[in-house]
Amino acid sequence: MTIDDVAKELNISKTTVSRAISGKGRISESTRSKVLAYIKEHNFKPSLIAKGLAEKRTYNIAVVWPADYDYVDLPFFQSCVMGMSKAAAEQDTDILICMVKGNDIGELDRIVENHKVDGVILTRTLINDAPADYLLSQNFPFVAIGSTEDKRTITVDNDHYEACRELTSILALRKVGRIALLGGNTNHIITRTRYRGYIDGLKNAGIEPDEDIVYFDVDSEPRMARILAELKKKEIGCAICMDDMICELFLTCTRKEGISIPKDMRVASFYDSRVLTNANPSITALHFEDRHLGQRAADMLLRLINGESVENEVLSDYEVILKESTK
């Protein structure tokens, strides 16, 4: 069934049917409701491909999936995509996956050149983000989850600065001793953002930050073991892990060393992932509503595609959840 069939059946022109469905152009209310009733009764869905050809749209948006095994925060990504999917579906739009390895643009150029999508969503942007640079150079609509250094980029993210500041100062006020920071990949913008929050959180609590107890690129067990030795020597009372993977490493190493938590040392983490939820003792962590984040990102991108004006957004969908590990 096509709009021609509908038109013939109702003795009107296909133009009128098209207008009734899209809501654009002049049409009488009576004709319009007649058409809508008919297509609803017959469960007619106009072809999005034909619509797309005429409008030069695909009704698809891509999400860039960072395809490095050891690097992606899968639960975060899943939640985000769930949110995007929900928001997009409301406008008949779907999510297409674009695998990208490292800081290469991978399949992105094929997807853009073939015009397979109307826009792109980037997650967890890097300092020099190749996909972002590419999309900017092509003047292709996109929204980045996580801030970027280019002012032209539309971004949305949770307030990681504020979240980390809050967590840090809460811990500081609890008198947990010296607070070390165990950070992730310094190429991630988010790593620096959280770092700033940590610094200011300490300052708010009247503590002078000490660069000697801040570590980045904590990505392996041997490295964590070495750091842990230093923490012991420096008589650190509490460690803030910048993500759940780092926290896992921390827990593994403390267990091996026979360090008891929270008796000997305390620990808090970003993200209360499944692994941490099951941990013993339970882990103090920041909980984020990543789903909502994805939803916002998709909403913003769709508005961008529709030519509406879009402002950067900073969300506060997080919560500090205090558990045993910082008691």
> From CA 22, how far away is CA 24, in angstroms rounded?
5
> Where do the DSSP E strands lie in 58-153?
60-66, 94-100, 119-123, 142-145
Tell me whether residue 25 is exposed, middle or buried, using C-beta atoms within 10 angstroms of its C-beta: 0 to 12, 13 to 18, 19 or more: exposed
Is residue 22 close enough to count as binding DNA by CB under 7 A?
yes
Of the candidates 31, 90, 37, 98, the one whose C-alpha atom is nearest the C-alpha of residue 59 is 90
Considering the complex, what minimum distance in angstroms separates the CB of residue 30 from a second copy? 28
Question: DSSP secondary-structure letter at 48?
Answer: H
Q: Which does 309 bind (CB under 5 to 8 A by kind): DNA, a second copy, none?
A: none
Q: Which of 40, 43, 54, 233 binds DNA (CB under 7 A)?
A: 54
> From CA 244, how far away is CA 293, in angstroms rounded?
19
Within 73-92, the residues that bind a second copy by CB under 8 A are 74-75, 78, 81-82, 85-86, 89, 92
Is residue 55 close enough to count as binding DNA by CB under 7 A?
yes
> From CA 36, how far away is CA 29, in angstroms rounded?
10
Is 51 or 174 the residue whose CB approaches a second copy more closely? Answer: 51
Q: Which does 70 bind (CB under 5 to 8 A by kind): a second copy, DNA, none?
A: a second copy
Q: Which residues contact 82 (CB under 8 A, 6 or more apart)?
A: 291, 294
Q: Which of 37, 49, 229, 314 binds a second copy (CB under 8 A)?
A: 49
Is 280 or 309 the residue whose CB approaches a second copy more closely? Answer: 280
Is residue 4 close enough to count as binding DNA by CB under 7 A?
yes
**Are 84 and 295 in contact, with CB atoms under 8 Å apart?**
yes
**Are 20 and 13 in contact, with CB atoms under 8 Å apart?**
no
Question: DSSP secondary-structure letter at 215?
Answer: E
> From CA 255, how far away is CA 249, in angstroms rounded?
10
Q: Which of 8, 9, 13, 110 binds DNA (CB under 7 A)?
A: 13
Residue 150, helix vs strand vs coil? coil
Within 244-303, the residues that bind a second copy by CB under 8 A are 248-249, 252, 255-256, 274-275, 278, 280
Is residue 28 close enough to count as binding DNA by CB under 7 A?
yes
Q: Which of 36, 38, 51, 289 binds DNA (CB under 7 A)?
A: 51
Question: DSSP secondary-structure letter at 126?
Answer: B
Q: For binding to a second copy (CB under 8 A), which residues are involved?
A: 43, 45, 47-50, 52-53, 56, 58-60, 63, 65, 67, 69-70, 72, 74-75, 78, 81-82, 85-86, 89, 92, 94-99, 107, 110-111, 113-116, 221, 248-249, 252, 255-256, 274-275, 278, 280
Q: For binding to DNA (CB under 7 A), which residues are involved?
A: 2-4, 11-16, 18-19, 21-22, 24-32, 46-47, 49-51, 53-56
